[in-house]
Chain A
Amino acid sequence: MFPTPIEKTAPSVQLIYKIALPIALILWLLPLIAVAVTSIRSAGDITAGNYWGWPTSFNMLENYTAVFTDSPIGKYILNSFKVTIPTVIGTLILSCMTGFALGIYRFKSNMLVFFMFVAGNFIPFQILMVPVRDLTLSMGMYNTTTGLALFHIAFQTGFCTLFMRNFIKNLPRELIEVARVEGVSEIKIFWYVVLPLMKPAIAALSVLIFTFIWNDYFWATVLTQGADTQPVTAGLYSLNGQWVAKWHLVSAGSIVAAMPPVLMFFAMQKHFIAGLTLGAVK
């Protein structure tokens, strides 16, 4: 514990701390609070320039209904799910296997393969843009959620392999040795011995990947277009072009788009933070 635990300080310090906390939080979230407030203003307030005064009316229902009825945001959100969920599943399948292989077996090029995944995970992914677009085009999957998900699966496998491998490496090896001595096949060791132990890692990664992919914007603009396939990040950008100066709609749309990962985060907070830190700070 550092700094000095608050309960050991003078009462005045404790009081100051307790007052400072909410103030700091409000300052920290000020831009977001501003957006939330704007999203319930009326169009009249916006045109009249009443952005920061007391709203003349509360239009929460109207604005959020308008966002869903006047724009394809519902479709965008559906597309986001269509990209995100297969990506989470696909990445987990691939990286459980790669992580298992690299974490359990000792073979010559183990380190080399592992470093390939790690290095690939760190490259500025924009360098992949032109070839990946061509590849997706030639597979006939340009402008499909599948094409986008396939790329994400491949790219996220880098990070997830790093994560899984480090996790598996720290599992007790004796379990596996015992199983081997008893003649259990490798695939069964994977399935019955190691996989059950990986549940926390799987939970952590699925929350993390869900958030990463949901928030992806770059690849969405490179590999998809139009309301039929674009996920909500790219969709929001496009809607921003249509809702010029209609900040109440932009705000409401932003909040709608941010909702799923936020809910996910609050529901699975423990796993999320474990995911961020477990693979990293080991």
Chain B
Amino acid sequence: MRAFWKANQLKLAPWLFLAPGIFMFALYVILPVFQSLDISFYAWDGLGEKEYVGLDNYVELMDDEAFYTALQNNIIWLVLYMLAVPAGLFVALFLNQTVRGIRIYKSLFFFPFVISQVVVGLVFSWFYDPTNGLMNVLLNAIGFDSIAVLADERFVTYGIIVAGLWPQTAYCMILYLTGLNSVDPEQIEAGRLDNAKGWRMLWYIILPQLRPATFIAVVVTVIGALRSFDLISIMTSGGPWGSSRVLAYYMYEQAFSEYGFRMGYGAAIAVVLFLIMMVYIAGFLYKMYRDERGH
């Protein structure tokens, strides 16, 4: 026994170290993905018996306006949420100086990211409140009418995205601030000698060096956009008349709200969201694979 262990220690050890982690991860993450896929072929209210319906849930999805609204909102989220990346870069450049107290400024700018999205959602609901919210008080003060951002189908999704951009920009900012720390001063000097200034300097000298930071900022922002749920739940519950739903929220509503409990249908929406995300995950893994090989 001891001898066997001695001989094979190097082979067995990694698996023993991995076992608890793999077990938990498989049980709670990997397996459920396939279970969801399976449930999406059933009609199930979570209470009675499951009934196999084949592709019916997906067929129904194709003809469900609420699904398309949610899908469209997801795309808007994906596109506009990306603003957090340049915005974060901008703030980082702004703060990347050495004056007295700059460290405190940096951490205060980062502050919104530390707060729960529930609080961010409440804060912005309050900000948008049509009668007394700060935004409308300011609008009225400069002579405009109040806008009920969260009750207007034209603005609601954008209003929520703005709330989401607030902490997300802070996140990207911190990534860039760290990235800027490791920018090579010699290259900047070289650039200066070549008379590169302002935008040219940023574009040709700084940004290429910030590529790792940009990459990770894009990744976390895409994930954040596709997972968006908290803010919608807090600020509008998907309303008015469902116009601010995204797939993640619609799925929750279909599967778990009083008016829903269609587990199968919810799972089908989840699968669609998963497929969209798979594109990004595959891209990310591919890049990682290349990097690992390159080492």
By a beta-carbon cutoff of 8 Å, the part of chain A in contact with chain B is 1-3, 5-7, 17-18, 21, 24-25, 28-32, 34-35, 38, 49, 51-52, 93-95, 97-98, 100-102, 104-105, 107, 110-111, 113, 115-120, 122-132, 135, 150-151, 153-155, 157-158, 161, 185-187, 190, 211, 214-215, 217-218, 221-222, 233-234, 236-237, 240, 247, 250-251, 254, 257-258, 261-262, 265-266, 269, 273, 276-277, 280-282
Contact = CB atoms under 8 A, between A and B. Distances in A.
A130 B277 contact: no
Interface in B101-137: 105, 107-112, 114-119, 122-124, 126-127, 131-132, 134, 137
The 6 closest A-B pairs by CB, nearest first: A154-B28, A131-B32, A215-B116, A101-B17, A98-B21, A131-B35
A130 B36 contact: yes
A28 B105 CA distance: 11
27 contacts: A1-B180, A2-B205, A3-B198, A21-B99, A31-B134, A31-B166, A51-B137, A52-B134, A98-B17, A98-B21, A101-B13, A101-B15, A120-B25, A120-B30, A126-B252, A127-B36, A127-B273, A130-B35, A130-B266, A154-B25, A217-B117, A217-B230, A233-B116, A261-B115, A262-B114, A266-B107, A280-B216
Contact of A123 (B174, B180, B188, B277): B277
Interface stretch (B63-71, B76-84, B145-153, B282-290): B282-290
B248 to A, nearest CB: 5
What does DSSP make chain B's interface, helix, strand, loop or mixed? helix
Contacts of B21: 94-95, 97-98, 117, 157, 161
A124 B224 CA distance: 9
Contacts of A280: 175, 216, 220
Given A101-B14, A130-B255, A186-B10, A124 B201 contact: no
Interface residues of B, number: 99
Contacts of B277: 122-124
A261 B98 contact: no
Contacts of B112: 28-29, 32
B212 A282 contact: yes
Contacts of B108: 25, 28-29
B36 A131 contact: yes
Contact of A32 (B105, B123, B137): B123
A124 B50 CA distance: 25
A28 B234 contact: no
Contacts of B105: 21, 25
A122 B223 CA distance: 7
Contacts of B131: 49
A102 B17 CA distance: 9
A111 B180 CA distance: 31
Contact of A126 (B14, B15, B27, B248): B248
A24 B9 CA distance: 59
A261 B32 contact: no
Given A124-B248, A186-B13, A153 B24 contact: yes
Given A154-B25, A217-B234, 5 more contacts: A31-B126, A107-B14, A131-B31, A236-B119, A247-B132
B229 interface: yes
A157 B267 CA distance: 24
A157 B25 contact: yes
A2 B96 contact: yes
A257 B123 CA distance: 13
Contacts of B32: 127-128, 130-132, 135
Interface string B233-254: 1100000000000001001100
B159 interface: no
B18 A113 contact: yes
B281 interface: yes
Contacts of B126: 31, 34-35, 38, 247, 250-251
B233 A217 contact: yes
Contact of B285 (A5, A119, A185): A119
Contacts of A240: 122, 234
B229 A94 contact: no
B206 interface: yes
B248 A258 contact: no
B270 interface: yes
Q: Taking each of A7, A161, A280, which has the highest tally of chain B beta carbons within 10 Å of its own beta carbon?
A: A280
Contact of B28 (A132, A190, A217): A132
